[in-house]
Amino acid sequence: MKKLLVLLMVLVTVAGGMVFAAGASEVAATGSDLITVGYSQVGAESDWRTANTESFKSTFVEANGYKLIFDDAQQKQENQIKAIRNFIQQDVDYIVVAPVVETGWDTVLTEAKAAGIPVILSDRMMKLSDDSLYLAWVGGNFLKEGQDGVSWLNDYVKKAGRENEDLNIILLQGTIGSSAQVGRTQGITEGLAKNPRYKLLAKQTGEFTQAKGQEVMESMLKAYSDIDVVFAENDNMAFGAIDAIKAVGKVPGKDIIIISFDAVHEAFNKMIAGELNCAVECNPLHGPRVAEIIQILEAGGKVEKIMYVDEGVFDTSNAKEVLPTRKY
Ligand code: AHR
């Protein structure tokens, strides 16, 4: 879009019908009336992430007036910084970033600001020295998600009549320093600290992947013989933990209560099978939300700086009924 305006500005200053005609056909041929969006994606570490990528790829299509430049950073901040610099060089209309970690973005976002390219953050947040370096953020409330997970455990303990039992708890964390990890860990650990019966035995990162979640759970099962509850900061780590628990002859969902985050399709299957007890929702369908922000900006409107998405909590009592309505 920006390129179209530049071209038209050049054309009105150039005399001669031939030049105008040639320029006009070039606009049509390159389709430069599209809004170009560079999306720097974290990676492909989880089912949630795959659904998020799909949401952007299916929203930012030519038929909707967009050209999407998609970059998968493979969970590395340096790749995201490179991608953002490439977007700046390509003079995109908007830069969208799902930042792998919270810190270390000031320099590259200052470069984007100097180039006059608006930056929208999606999914995870950044900690910046100057909030004017981004225009808006849309995503889930990770702190609340963590708190909701502990509330579910509190309810479960009451219903199961286990209030007088000490419960040994393991926390599988996401990528350390990502706002999804920081918020959920805070919500979970602060919530657990309110009940002296809850014993947090250990917390360790499983990097939001199934393989690492399984590996860490295997080592936890070796180190602690009496684990009652596992919090996994995403579904894929919970799936890995379920496999590790089965491998030592224990029954996931019964011998060990498992609470996870995201609530993707497979989490519902696992809840229906009784292997996962609770999945706190984190909605990945941010493509249309970011497109809406861009449309408002294109129309000259203003958007809220921080936009939280509504999210629910699901468990074995409602998984079967809810599964058919799930979009990811
Ligand atoms: O930032 C959202 C988190 O990132 C999701 O919980 C997780 O599955 C993903 O990798």
Query: Which of 40, 41, 49 is the pocket-test mutation for ligand 1 (most atoms within 8 Å of CB)?
Result: 49
Do 33-140+284-310 and 142-282 have matching folds? yes
Query: Cα(213) to centroid of ligand 1, in Å?
Result: 13
Model confidence at 15: pLDDT above 70: no
DSSP character string of 66-107: EEEEEEE-TT-HHHHHHHHHHHHHTT-SEEEE--SSSSS-HH
* Two tokens, residue 50: 């795959």
What atom in ligand 1 is closest to the CA of residue 178?
Answer: 1
pLDDT score of 23: 32
Tell me the chain's radius of gyration from C-alpha atoms.
23
Cα distance between residue 132 and residue 144, in whole Å: 25
pLDDT in tens, 20-40: 233 332 333 345 699 999 999
Q: Which helix (H) or strand (E) holds 306?
A: strand 306-308
CB atoms within 10 A of CB 312: 12
Backbone angles phi, psi at 249, to 5 degrees: 80, 15
Contact 15, 3 (CB under 8 A): no
Half-sphere CA count of 78, side-chain side, radius 13 A: 0
Query: Cα(49) to centroid of ligand 1, in Å?
Result: 6
Q: How far is CA 127 from CA 43, 95, 103, 119, in A?
A: 20, 17, 5, 14
Split at pLDDT 50, 70, 90, the class of 198 is: very high
pTM of the model: 0.91
Mean pLDDT, rounded, for 161-182: 98
Query: Cα(121) to centroid of ligand 1, in Å?
Result: 15
Split at pLDDT 50, 70, 90, the class of 235 is: very high
Query: Cα(130) to centroid of ligand 1, in Å?
Result: 25
Mean pLDDT, rounded, for 271-298: 98
Residue 280's contacts (CB-CB under 8 Å, 6 or more residues apart) are 145, 148, 149, 152, 259, 260, 261, 262, 263, 311, 313, 314
Q: Does domain 33-140+284-310 have CATH number 3.40.50.2300?
A: yes
Half-sphere CA count of 248, side-chain side, radius 13 A: 21
Query: Cα(180) to centroid of ligand 1, in Å?
Result: 7
* Two tokens, residue 51: 């659904």
Pick the CATH number of 142-282 from 3.40.50.2300, 3.40.50.300, 3.30.530.20, 3.50.50.60: 3.40.50.2300
| CA nearest ligand 1 atom 2, residue | 180
Model confidence at 186: pLDDT above 80: yes
What atom in ligand 1 is closest to the CA of residue 264?
Answer: 8
Query: Which of 42, 208, 237 is the pocket-test mutation for ligand 1 (most atoms within 8 Å of CB)?
Result: 208
pLDDT in tens, 130-145: 999 999 999 999 999 9
Residue 312 corresponds to which amino acid?
G
pLDDT in tens, 72-99: 999 999 999 999 999 999 999 999 999 9
Cross-strand bridge partners of residue 153: none
Domain positions in the chain are 33-140+284-310, 142-282
Model confidence at 8: pLDDT above 90: no
Model confidence at 52: pLDDT above 80: yes
User: Which residues contact ligand 1 via a Cβ below 6 A?
Assistant: 45-46, 48-49, 123-124, 180, 208, 234, 261-262, 282
